A and B are shown apart, each in its own frame.
Chain A
């Protein structure tokens, strides 16, 4: 796993190693403190990867780093998505390159209605699902389309955040704790949606505290601990490995 893939070969490389998103030796800092320490992992096209770990393990930081946000700052390493070097991009470019992040605090934009929040996502190319299609997926949002986004209930906000990501034509969906604060029925709904999305060929990285649930959905799993990768393998493997679960996930 720790052999640097040869990115320079472009397409060629994709044929030899089917990684769709590759993170290679990434380090990231908040100001002066070192959070993400030399992380490498691959995600294959169309799969769901569960990114797990305790509170403060660095999951959110890793997702933010991949989405090329300023904070944390990536200081070392490479990130490739479908032959594009994300590590050379700013976050809006990464977004145009196909990254869709649903942040953990949902980041619904104040002052904008539900519909405006969705419209905003369709300003920059490439555009994904139509707004009507999204309303079909989440009828609740359709009912509330004229309401200011931030006054939605927690669960509604989560739906809006996911819908907003899908409103763009994304290649990879980064989900930071999407089930948090959702009623169990809705969690079931979203899980179904994620399966639908997977069928559409969208690759997903899922960060989730409910590890069992995530692992049941995921194809593969990467476990982080204090900013480093401690496990990279199939989801089944984790489910079957009590020791691993005990040590890093406490389940």
Chain B
């Protein structure tokens, strides 16, 4: 019982990562009609926003401490972060400790700007081009972004730990007499994702914005004929998707240390999620994200892997195949979106 609940939590946790990335992807993919292979890179950049912030907060001045030696036997240079000298050691340390949540504020404007520049500078010229061209150009962009990050941050993962108060485990099942200890940050992540997902839904559902963008995707020309500046809305949409991807990245940092290829690792999977959910359907993407997350969690259990060896490696693809063969447009796909 405990094990099952734990795996469900794990599934929700994985699922919220998938859902969040797929959500941003499908906003661009299902509404703007652009196959954005650089979406993973946006997720990665989000994570590196938080790496950068923590580097900035850790910017230090050096003092030489002759009592200690470095690895070559020279006197050790001791580093003190500026924040600690400005705000006093305690406040400074707290600020540094909370760098990941702070990075959310830091990342939003950055991601919006990146999204804006990307859409205005590149993507907008590709709305009418074949999907194949979009793939090539955004893949090229993804490589470029990824290589730039590698150039500055190296190839190894860099830890961005959660604040002390939010790391550690929470005992969930206490009242029920169950043994369920679950990392607090992962619970935060699930909550944050749900918040973001509902936020995005509300924005698109309860404003006409969503309708306009969907209409613009289906027939740009006609929407403009109705006096609507569709370009501007596409840009906003793209910025929004970039920001969602970026925030997903920031929050993911404490779960797994960010590295330059984390975007590519997620890319293919998130495409599968979007398509299994059904092209053009936001609820579909979210549903598929959680579904695949939970299935993957259960396929990784010893019971599953001993019953069917290797099931944990293929489960997602297997489910994708079954879903697409039984439901032609994925779980909740719309007719006519990207079928040709």
Contacts and interface: CB of A to CB of B under 8 A. Distances in A.
A103 B225 contact: yes
A124 B227 contact: yes
Contacts of A110: 218-219, 336
B265 interface: no
Given A110-B336, A112-B215, A125 B227 contact: yes
Contact of A116 (B211, B229, B230): B211
A109 B215 contact: yes
A121 B215 contact: no
A178 B219 CA distance: 20
Interface string B220-246: 011111111110000000000000000
Contacts of B221: 69-70, 91, 107
A12 B280 CA distance: 52
B131 interface: no
B214 A164 contact: no
Contacts of A121: 226-227
Contacts, number: 75
A92 B212 contact: no
A111 B223 CA distance: 13
Given A111-B334, A112-B214, A119-B208, A91 B225 contact: yes
B121 to A, nearest CB: 19
Given A116-B211, A123-B208, A95 B219 contact: no
A123 B228 contact: yes
B211 A96 contact: no
B126 to A, nearest CB: 15
B213 to A, nearest CB: 11
Interface in A65-98: 67, 69-70, 90-92, 95-96
Given A92-B225, A164-B226, 17 more contacts: A92-B227, A92-B230, A96-B227, A101-B225, A109-B222, A111-B215, A111-B336, A112-B214, A116-B211, A120-B212, A120-B223, A120-B228, A121-B226, A123-B212, A123-B228, A125-B227, A168-B226
6 contacts: A69-B221, A95-B228, A107-B225, A109-B218, A110-B336, A120-B208
Interface of B: 208, 211-212, 214-215, 218-219, 221-230, 280, 334, 336
